[in-house]
Structure 1
Amino acid sequence: MRELQAMLGVSRGVVSGLITAGFVSPLRGPRNEYRFTFQDVVLLRTALQLRAARIPPRKIVMALSRLRKALPDELPLTGIRVSAVGSDVAVRTGPSQWDAVTGQLLLDFEVAEIKGDVVFLDTTPAQENLANQAQEWYDLGEQLRTSDVNGAERAYRKAIVLSPKPFYAAYVDLGALLCELEARCEDALHVFDEALTHFPQDAVLHFNRAIAFEELGRFGDAEQSYKRCLELDPSYADAHHNLAILLEKRGDPQGLVRHLNAYRRLTT
């Protein structure tokens, strides 16, 4: 329940009210605690958004009941977008768009007719639409990183693939996420290397790359990456600190003193 509240940004009372109203039926764990599935999270988030859009409660329940049957058990790679269109609910899954209550497939034009009224379903330019989708996947990765590492990784990677231009934050956070897992440091290194092809002068990427090298025991490469980071940003205190410790391990007492002093000057 606490993790779900944090993901949705609402109080326990709001979540409990949505459960009581029948929007979701979570399972119970061994200590009688609520256990929410990916489907539950999508449905609850959708219920909040539709309620804020003033969709009638009865129509929300009907829409979510049909949506529940269509949702996969795990995070979908195609993405799911649910939006209020007038008093109706439209669902997009990958290239398909359909009415959440009737199940009727909606034609993928900029405008379509629903119940005789012309409503705008998607007038966003393609590039802007991709950027919005990439941002949504990135936000999902941020929400999942403490509770579902695999889901967070997939969300970050989807954000990188969808983004019309290199997605700096997604690269940084994906690499950091992988580097927290000892067995994935090599994968993290590949992420940072790819990011550096787009942002070669970024000190943070060189710093994170150095950490990945250290975790892999490639101390010479780590030293060079820390030095490159400091060439780009001499005031990067953490890089001075880490390089000082690394140089001590490598038998360079002068380097240790030089970078430790620099670290102290920058942090006092």
Structure 2
Amino acid sequence: MRELQAMLGVSRSVVSGLIAAGFVNPSRGRGNAYRFTFQDVVLLRTALQLRDARIPPRKIIMALSRLRDALPEALPLTGIRVSAVGSDVAVRTGPSQWDAVTGQFLLDFEVAQIKGDVVFLDAAPAQKNLAHQAQEWYDLGEQLRASDVNGAERAYTKAIALSPTPFYAAYVDLGALLCELEARGEDALNVFNEALAHFPDDAVLHFNRAIAYEELGRLEDAEQSYEHCLALDPSYADAHHNLAMLLERRGDAQGLVRHLSAYRRLTT
């Protein structure tokens, strides 16, 4: 509950009220503490942002309750776009748009000016909104990283998929997240390789790929990636340090001294 409050920026009473209203049904963990899923977080954010768009509370409850009931149980609120339209809540699924309370379909010329997108979930949005939605998924990944690793991975992956241009930060953070997880080194390596196809001369990506290679025990590949990183940025102190430690493991005393000296020179 504490992590969710910080993530959403609201009080405990607000979250408790949304739970009591039936928006989500969190499970219970150790000490009877609430445990929220990735979809719970998204649904609660939807309710809060509809409120910020000045939709009446009663209408929010009616709209999202009806919406939840109309969607498959396995994928609640997936594949839709929810927007505040005037004082109403509109839902778009593919080419169709309908009123979330009445269920009535809306034609494009019947829709008032949208106050702002509330939340995007696994939709196929218009091209002009892709960058904005990619950023929203990335921000959600950042929020979930400390409390829901699987949710953060999904959010970063969605940001990369939606972004109309290669999303550098999402690649870096997704790869780093996977590197921290047991037995996910190969997945992290795939992320960094994909990122390097777009950003071949980025020292940070070569450094992170070297770490992934080390996790996989591919020390020769790791050494080459550290060297590539330093060729692009000779002042990259951490690369000197990691390479020095790697060369020590490989029995290269001369290389150890050279890169450790460079590291100390750069950090003193």
Report the RMSD for the aligned CA atoms in angstroms. 2.7
Kindly indicate whether the alpha-carbon contact (under 8 Å) linking 1:182 and 1:215 is maintained by their aligned counterparts in 2: no
Q: SS in structure 2 opposite 1:61?
A: helix
Give, in whole Å, the separation in 2 of the partners of 1:55 and 1:94.
23
Instruction: Specify the alignment match of 1:105 in structure 2.
Output: 105
Give the letter for the 1:183 counterpart.
Answer: A
**Aligned 8 A contact 2:24 2:44 in 1:** yes
**Residue in structure 2 matched with residue 45 of structure 1 by the alignment:** 45
CA contact (8 A) 1:50 1:60 kept: yes
Partners of 1:196 and 1:99 lie apart in 2 by 44
Deviation at 1:103? 2.0
Contact 1:211 1:222 in 2 (8 A): yes
Partner of 2:244: 244
Shift of 1:140: 2.5
- Which position in structure 1 is the counterpart of 2:120? none
Whether 2:13 is the aligned partner of 1:13: answer yes
Asked if the contact 1:24/1:43 (under 8 Å) is kept, the reply is: yes
1: CA distance, partners of 2:110 / 2:77? 29
Task: For 2:173, give the aligned amino acid.
Answer: D
TM-score, reference length from structure 2: 0.85
TM-score by length of 1: 0.85
* Superposed counterparts of 1:1-268, under 5 Å: 1-20=1-20, 23-29=23-29, 31-71=31-71, 79-107=79-107, 111-114=108-111, 118-120=112-114, 126-268=126-268
CA shift in 2, pair 1:96/1:226, >3 Å: farther
How far, CA to CA, are the matches of 1:243 and 1:104 in structure 2? Answer: 63
Task: Report deviation, 1:128.
Answer: 2.5
With over 3 angstroms needed to count, the CA separation of the structure-2 counterparts of 1:224 and 1:28, relative to structure 1, is closer
| Deviation at residue 63 of structure 1 after TM alignment | 0.9
CA distance in 2, matches of 1:191, 1:28: 34
Cα distance in 2, alignment partners of residues 181 and 27 from structure 1: 24
Q: Matched residues, percent identical?
A: 84
SS in 1 for 2:110: strand
Cα distance change, pair 72–262 in 1 and its aligned pair in 2 (3 A): farther
1:83 is paired with a residue of what secondary structure?
Answer: strand
Question: Any conservation in 2 of the 1:78–1:93 contact (CA below 8 Å)?
Answer: no
Offset at 1:42?
2.8
- Paired residue secondary structure (1:182): coil
Q: Distance in 2 between matches of 1:36 and 1:176?
A: 24
- CA separation of 1:249 and 1:24: change in aligned 2, threshold 3 A: closer
Q: Distance in 1 between matches of 2:72 and 2:233?
A: 46
Measured in 2, the distance between the counterparts of 1:219 and 1:185 equals: 13
Change in 2 beyond 3 A, CA 1:194/1:113: same
List structure 1 segments (4+ residues) > 6 angstroms apart after TM superposition: 74-77
2:97 aligned counterpart, secondary structure: strand
Contact 1:38 1:74 survives alignment (8 Å): no
Q: CA deviation at 1:34?
A: 2.1
Question: What is the CA distance between 1:5 and its match in structure 2?
Answer: 1.4
Measure the CA separation in 1 of the matches of 2:246 and 2:202. Answer: 21
Structure 1, 63-72 or 48-57: larger mean CA deviation: 63-72
Q: How far off is 1:61 after superposition?
A: 1.2
Greater length-normalized contact order (CA 8 Å, ≥ 6 residues apart): 2
What are the ranges of 5 or more consecutive residues in structure 1 without an aligned counterpart?
none
Shift of the alpha carbon at 1:25?
Answer: 4.7
Q: 8 Å contact 1:38–1:75 — kept in the other structure?
A: no
The Cα shift of 1:204 comes to 0.5
C-alpha separation in 1, matches of 2:128 and 2:261: 47
Q: Deviations over 1:157-192 (max 9, x none)?
A: 222222111111111111112211231211211111
Cα displacement (A) at 1:226: 0.3
Q: For the residues of structure 2 that align with 1:148 and 1:42, how far apart are their CA atoms? A: 13
